Amino acid sequence: MPRSRPRPVRYAPATRRGTVIATLAVAVAGVTAFHRAVPNSPGRLGSLIESFLPWAGPVVVLLLVVALVRRSGVALIALLLPVAVWVQGFGGLLLPAPEPVSAGRGLTVVQHNVSDENPDPAGTARALAASGADLIALEELVVPALSTYETVLGVRYPHHAVHGTVGLWSKYPITEDQLVDIRPRDIEEGWSRGLRAVVRTPYGEVAAYVAHLPSVRIGAGGLTSARRDESARALGALVRDEKVRTVILMGDLNSTVDDRGLAPLTSQLNVAERGFAFSFPTAFPVARIDQVLARSATVDHIRTLPATGSDHLPVAARVTLDTTGP
């Protein structure tokens, strides 16, 4: 009986082996570069993608590993595109913090959602005070924890203002403060999560805003962010009408600076130039939703501080005021 010859093993050409990876690479680059073109309906898809844009980087790394394993030159060449797009959009955030200018007019500010379920408000307050910040903004201040924050922070921060569940502690005098209305129309009275204060710093007056925008949820229908977006528009209008030249906004904005939902703010305020500072959730931070934004000032660098009893990490930012100001 004649022997049957074994069938030769057929290998897909290298160009075919890399087609899928190359296609994915181009898709990642397209979404990262042109995320504003992604429609927000249905389910606010555009905002959802923008909330996690920096994570396009790890996706590219994963595709790179697969391309190397498959030895696909086509895929490796295609991957240059998303790498270039990511570096252009986020590479600067990886750079080390710039050296402070000796003649600069700098402030250090800390932003922290302390959580209304924080089991150790005193420890949290001590940790924040140890940062040495000039300004500390807090959200989710509730009774009886509020008195603890006032007592502990008051040792180093003699000036403070609290309205509703947000507060500001300052080393420098607060000359005026008031509640600001950023409540969405369908939320009942009593929802108070915004304040404005004027701080007299050694470099001139600063209008400091502290805000806690409404939460968002991700479900089967997509991202529910209508209330947050409405609140951001209200806050943006207040900032636009602010008479004090220098503005620093600190808050849990429940969004990243890439999310179009914060456009009313990011279109007129500077965002951090260095640092990712993913702040939420504490167990595995995937996004920075705790923000420090500024007008007539530069947010040079932002970083996270060690965890407290909150489900958010504190963030600290160095803000350099415009030297051309008064």
Q: Residue 31: which of 16, 50, 15 has the closest Cα?
A: 50
Asked if residue 259 belongs to a domain, the reply is yes
Shared-domain flag, residues 109 and 58: no
Q: Do both 64 and 198 map to the same domain?
A: no
200 three-state secondary structure: strand
Q: Which of 295, 280, 283, 304 is nearest to 51 (CA)?
A: 280
Q: Are residues 89 and 31 in the same domain?
A: yes
Domain that holds residue 30: 14-94
**First CA to last CA distance, the chain:** 101
Q: Among 3-7, 70-74, 161-165, where is mean pLDDT lowest?
A: 3-7
What stretch of H or E contains 144? none
Split into its structural domains, the chain has a count of 2
pLDDT at 4 over 80: no
Residue 324 has pLDDT above 80, yes or no: no
Check whether residue 189 and residue 260 sit in a common domain. Answer: yes
Q: Are residues 119 and 46 in the same domain?
A: no
pLDDT at 14 over 70: no
Q: Among residues 94, 120, 136, which one ends one of the domains?
A: 94
pLDDT tens digits along 66-79: 999 988 899 999 99
pLDDT by residue (tens digit) across 137-159? 999 999 999 999 999 999 999 99
Assess if residue 223 is contained within a domain.
yes
Same domain as 281, residue 304 = yes
Q: Which of 46, 64, 94 is the last residue of a domain?
A: 94
- pLDDT digits 0-9 by tens, 231-254: 999 999 999 999 999 999 999 999
Place 217 in a pLDDT band, splitting at 50, 70 and 90.
confident
Do residue 60 and residue 160 come from a single domain?
no
- Note whether residue 4 is domain-resident: no
207, 198 contact by CB (below 8 A): yes
With respect to residue 87, please indicate whether it lies within any of the assigned structural domains.
yes
Q: Give the CATH number for residue 262.
A: 3.60.10.10
Buried b (16+ CB within 10 A) or exposed e, 155-185: ebbebbbbbbbbbbbbbbebeebeebebbbe
For the chain, give the mean pLDDT.
92
Residues 283-300 have pLDDT tens digits of 999 999 999 999 999 999
Indicate the residue among 42, 65, 94 that finishes a domain. Answer: 94
pTM of the entire predicted model: 0.91
**Judgement on whether residues 132 and 214 belong to the same structural domain of the protein:** yes
Residues 294 and 274 in one domain: yes
**293 shares a domain with 188:** yes
